[in-house]
């Protein structure tokens, strides 16, 4: 707590938010700056990427046809480091960064190296001496911040505009790379009571205000605190319709940017007046034609589109259930994917090409295990069918026949 205190001796807004949200989350959804500050805004708690179990060491690459060019997209599992991936996918779509053709797997270190090269290749936009010194300082700050991209960013939104964030050193990376950072969590100007309660505060400041005002002896302050809390609860998706309208107005046609919402950073583009988010779910790795998802409401149920923004439908999938056994096709796909990852990692680690007996043996054993499971399931199904037939036969003998 001492490391998270301000000079006045009061706990910082980050600490207050963490304590508050630990027992009273606004609608159950909070931004990364509210829950993650202990891991993102304090040096003592910032974990290295390899020490976090939720941060994989490699990512699968999906190749799409983007403006008639084969372009890589980094996919992610549920808990991937989305700030790093959102920035890198933006650079890939801009062709500012490239991967060797046919690359199927990329490591965190590879992505960080590509990002570092992009940052170092930036040149100052103005040649004045003062601007040059400021640019060099920003460059130094950005390089120091890069490791955080694989563990999370300290982002604190303001509710006054889609580009309004409390300034943190992490924002320098977006500025240097000329990548707009947006959010859509705005207070509706048609609700003057909420506008007055929220004001120009950031998220952290607003949560601190709610705590102070709700425990005040002044009834008017208690009422204002409740209104501010109602705003957070009514916009638990961290996207309001007013914010969505402002996003459409502010984003430029054809602009590729990064969109922050619900603890997640997504690559976003505006095409013919509509907003789309890049689909990076690893579950769609094999669906080359499924690239974008429309952002047209606050519920998050957008439509999927291909790289030319033509409407497409995702493949029909069975509902997830622990009792549903995988199909033979799914089993074989998993075997191939595991084998591909193992081969790619061995090659990236300097392994010499040639017969991979250990890997092939592991693949064979895994395939045999899958086949044994499938045979056991078939036997159980056949036994169940035989028992059902026997029961029907027994009933036919017990049922009296009427002449």
Q: Which residues are catalytic?
A: 82, 264
Residues 263, 271: contact at Cβ < 8 Å? Answer: no
Interhelix angle 129-145/108-120, rounded to 10 degrees, is 180
Which uninterrupted H or E stretch holds 372?
helix 357-398
Is residue 344 classed as helix, strand or coil in its secondary structure? Answer: helix
In sign, the C-alpha dihedral spanning 137, 259, 38, 233 is: positive
Contacts of residue 204, Cβ cutoff 8 Å, sequence gap at least 6? 13, 14, 16, 17, 33, 34, 37, 156, 166
Contacts of residue 92, Cβ cutoff 8 Å, sequence gap at least 6? 71, 72, 73, 74, 98, 99
Cα 358 to its chain centre, rounded Å, is 35
In sign, the C-alpha dihedral spanning 202, 203, 208, 209 is: positive
- Euclidean distance between CA atoms 25 and 22, whole angstroms: 7
Q: Which residue has the tokens 């923004």?
A: 309
Q: Look at residues 156, 97, 85 and name the one whose alpha carbon lies nearest to residue 122.
A: 97
Q: Look at residues 233, 186, 185 and name the one whose alpha carbon lies nearest to residue 210.
A: 233
Residues 197, 231: contact at Cβ < 8 Å? Answer: yes
Is residue 125 classed as helix, strand or coil in its secondary structure? Answer: coil
């Amino acid at each position: 707590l001492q490391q998270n205190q301000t000079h006045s001796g009061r706990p910082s807004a980050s600490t207050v938010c963490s304590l508050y949200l630990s027992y009273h989350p606004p609608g159950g959804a909070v931004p990364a700056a509210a829950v993650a500050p202990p891991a993102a805004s304090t040096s003592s708690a910032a974990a290295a990427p390899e020490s976090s179990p939720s941060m994989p060491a490699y990512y699968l690459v999906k190749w799409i046809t983007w403006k008639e060019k084969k372009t890589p997209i980094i996919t992610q599992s549920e808990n991937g480091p989305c700030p790093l991936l959102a920035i890198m996918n933006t650079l890939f779509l801009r062709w500012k960064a490239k991967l060797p053709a046919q690359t199927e797997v990329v490591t965190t270190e590879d992505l960080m190296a590509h990002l570092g090269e992009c940052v170092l290749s930036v040149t100052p936009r103005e040649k004045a001496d003062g601007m040059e010194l400021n640019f060099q300082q920003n460059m130094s700050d950005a390089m120091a911040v890069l490791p955080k991209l694989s563990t999370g960013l300290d982002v604190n939104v303001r509710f006054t505009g889609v580009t309004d964030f409390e300034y943190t050193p992490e924002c320098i990376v977006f500025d240097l790379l000329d990548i707009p950072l947006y959010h859509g969590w705005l207070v509706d100007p048609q609700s003057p009571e909420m506008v007055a309660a929220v004001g120009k505060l950031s998220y952290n400041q607003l949560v601190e205000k709610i705590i102070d005002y709700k425990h005040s002896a002044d009834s008017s302050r208690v009422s204002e605190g409740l209104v501010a809390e109602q705003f957070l609860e009514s916009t638990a998706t961290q996207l309001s319709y007013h914010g969505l309208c402002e996003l459409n107005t502010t984003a430029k046609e054809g602009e590729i940017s990064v969109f922050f919402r619900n603890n997640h950073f997504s690559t976003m583009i505006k095409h013919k007046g509509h907003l789309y988010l890049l689909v990076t779910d690893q579950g769609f790795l094999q669906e080359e034609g499924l690239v974008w998802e429309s952002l047209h409401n606050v519920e998050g149920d957008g439509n999927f589109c291909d790289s030319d923004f033509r409407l497409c439908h995702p493949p029909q999938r069975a509902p997830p259930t622990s009792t549903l056994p995988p199909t033979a096709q799914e089993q074989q796909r998993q075997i191939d994917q595991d084998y591909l990852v193992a081969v790619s990692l061995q090659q990236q680690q300097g392994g010499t090409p040639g017969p991979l007996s250990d890997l092939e043996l592991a693949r064979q054993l895994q395939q045999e295990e899958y086949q044994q499971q499938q045979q056991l399931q078939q036997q159980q199904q056949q036994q169940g069918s035989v028992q059902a037939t026997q029961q029907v036969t027994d009933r036919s003998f017990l049922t009296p026949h009427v002449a």
